[in-house]
Each structure stands twice: as structure tokens, then as C-alpha cells.
Amino acid sequence: MYASFRSIGAYVPSEIRTNQWFIDRMDTTDEWITKRTGINQRRIASKEQLSSDLGVEAAKIAIDRAGIKCDEIDLVLCATISPDYMCMPSTACLIADKLGISDVMAFDISAACTGFIYALSVAKAFVESGMKKNVLIIGAEKLSSIVDYTDRTTCMLFGDGAGAAIISATDNINEAIIDVRCSADGSQKDLLMTPGVESGEKQFMQMKGNETFKIAVRTLTNDVIKILEKNNMSNDDIDLFIPHQANYRIIKAVGDALEFRDEQKVLTVDKYGNTSSASIPMAINDCYESGRLKLGDTMLLDAFGGGLTWGSAIVKFAAK
């Protein structure tokens, strides 16, 4: 039994927050933000919209495109660092409930910006072991709820949104997810973190931007080299290189180091900012909806985030 990537969906809230919003409120310029990050705008959820609401909308599209019904889903995984509730109930439980999916396992994955690749890895293992047939994986983030809008070096980086996919069992090896590799290093916990409830600090994201930048470029690049080598593949075997959308300069540095051609590289950070675990499925969905991603295409996913965590995946797009 193999695991196949059956469908993709995404949802972004309607409010667009341009760089001007930050210029009006803090000491910054459009030039500084665009030059250092490549971000022009992000989407911001309304007060009433929580991560589970964003995730539900993305999931509905992915389920519909997979041509399955909610009662055929036997596992729900949600990657998020901005859950509706602190620790419990999980956002996956809330999404399953809102979709009317009951009596199946549902849990969250906390791997920051690598969350979607972690979820993909867990879904693949459950399907390949024969334990589950149709897994709904979601990356859903309302990062605007954990951003410190008094910290001008980080607040303009992040946005809200969600992406979802259905991972299904298949006996056709040509449809199989080729490989997923994930890693972690907790010794670097201070680079990107939200303080704990006992810390006395507010639960806002904190980041050592400069150090994170350098480690991100190195780690993202090495990870791709390793996964390609392990699978005896080269850049030419990849149709779309879809890295975590954190920052244009990181993506450019990694893309250049790996010598991907422009038509292989996917960039959405300019319009959505960094949406953590949602960024990769949102980018896949953009490619799908614009006709850039087609049945049978091979995607190379690559992410890095707080933990530290990092991971990459080589995935055939096996839409029905």
C-alpha cells in the first residue's frame, strides 16, 4: 500500500494588510520591508475567525476535490502554532467536529513552519501501515493573534491562512509520495519561540531574525541535497520546488544554491507573508488553481521553523 497526495485546497481571509498599515503605525518604510523580506501584503483574519475556521474552509475544498465524503476520512491532522485553545481541545478536534467527522482520531502537530511536512510524514506512515485510508491534513494559522505588533522587526513578516490536503491509500506506485524526511533540534529553541504561560511574558512570537536567517538558508539547502541524493534524483526530476514562504531573500538564496530554474521555483510570500504551517499548502493550491501544477507533476517541498524543525518531501501530485 502506498500513500498518494490526492487533492489540495486553501483559504485566506478577505482582509488585505499592505505595508502601508505598518508604515502608518511604526517607524518603518515600504522599501525596508520589501527589500528585506519581499512581502507586499498579508491576509488577516477577522476577530471572530479562528484557526479552525480557516482550516475548515481549506479542508472543504480539499475534500471536495478529492471526490470523497467526510465519512470516508479516518484521520484528521492539523499543524498549527496558533490554535484556537491553549493546548486543548486540539484544533484538529474542532475542525473534525465542524466538518461533521466523528469517531476518528484527530490531533494537532506542533512543528511550527515545518508542520505541514510533519503532518504529511505522519499521514504517509498511517496509510502505508494500512491503519488509515483517507487522511485529512491541514495547516491553519491565525498568526495575527500571536504577533507582537510593537516589535517592528518581526510583526510585518506574518499573515493568516490555511491549506489542506487529502492523503489516500493507493496500490499504484506511480501515484505514491516518494519520500518525506523530517528532523528537529531542540537545543536551538531560543531562535524562534513563544514564551510559556509560567514565564510572565505575553504569548507572542519572538525571533532572533538574523541568526534564524542564516541557519534557515543552510538547513533548507542541505535538506534538499540529502533527499534528492537519497532518492537518486536531481533538479531535473522536479517540476515545482515549493519552499516554506518565510522571506524572499531566504527562498532566493536557497533556490540559487540549489540551482533551480525560475520556472521551477514557487513564490507566494509577496502576497501572503509567512503563514507558518499553512504556507506550503497555500503555495501548492496557488499553483493548482493557476494551472501551474498538473496531474503527475513532482513537487519538492522544503520547510524550516521553530523548534528547530525542518523537513523536505518529494511528492507526486496524484489528483483524481
Binding of ligand COA by 36 (CB under 6 A): yes
Residue 32 is a binding residue for ligand COA (CB under 6 A): yes
Which of the following is catalytic: 244, 247, 285, 287? 244
Closest Cα partner for 81 from 114, 49, 53?
114
The answer to the question of residue 305 lying near ligand COA (CB under 6 A) is yes
Q: Which is nearer to ligand COA, 210 or 290 (CB)?
A: 210
User: What string marks each residue from 102 to 141 as x (binds ligand COA by CB under 6 A) or -?
Assistant: -----------x----------------------------
Tell me which of 54, 61, 92, 246 binds ligand COA, using CB under 6 A.
246
- Shortest Cβ 320–ligand COA spacing (Å): 33
For 237, what's the count of Cα atoms within 13 Å in the CB-facing half-sphere? 13
Hey, which bits of the chain come out as E strands? 2-11, 15-18, 41-44, 75-79, 105-109, 134-142, 160-170, 179-184, 192-193, 206-207, 240-243, 298-305, 309-316
Return the DSSP state at 51. Answer: H
Instruction: Tell me which of 19, 247, 274, 285 is the catalytic residue.
Output: 274
Measured from the CB atom, the residue of 5 and 213 that comes closer to ligand COA is 213
Nearer to ligand COA, 14 or 210 (CB): 210
Catalytic residue among 78, 93, 113, 155: 113
- Residue from 14, 161, 167, 1 nearest 77 by CA: 167
Report if residue 247 touches ligand COA, rule: CB under 6 A. Answer: yes
Integer CA distances (angstroms), 134 to 7, 128, 162, 252, 277, in order: 11, 11, 19, 35, 20
Amino acid at residue number 309: T
Span interacting with ligand COA, options 62-70, 74-82, 209-217, 233-241, rule CB under 6 A: 209-217
Residue from 276, 248, 32, 15 nearest 153 by CA: 32
Among 15, 23, 28, 183, binds ligand COA (CB under 6 A): 28
> Which residue in 207, 170, 192, 287 sits closest to 240, CA to CA?
287
**Is 113 among the catalytic positions?**
yes
- Measuring CA to CA, which residue among 165, 96, 99, 92 is closest to residue 127? 165
Sign of the alpha-carbon torsion through 95, 100, 101, 103:
positive
User: Considering the complex, what minimum distance in angstroms separates the CB of residue 172 from ligand COA?
Assistant: 35
Residue 212 interacting with ligand COA (CB under 6 A)? yes
Number of chain residues interacting with ligand COA (CB under 6 A)? 21
Cβ proximity to ligand COA: between 127 and 251 the closer is 251
Beta 15-18 vs 41-44: how paired, if at all?
antiparallel
User: Is residue 279 close enough to count as binding ligand COA by CB under 6 A?
Assistant: no
Q: Which residues bind ligand COA (CB under 6 A)?
A: 28, 32, 36-37, 113, 152-153, 156-157, 207, 209-210, 212-213, 216, 246-247, 250, 274, 304-305
Catalytic residues, by residue number, are: 113, 244, 274
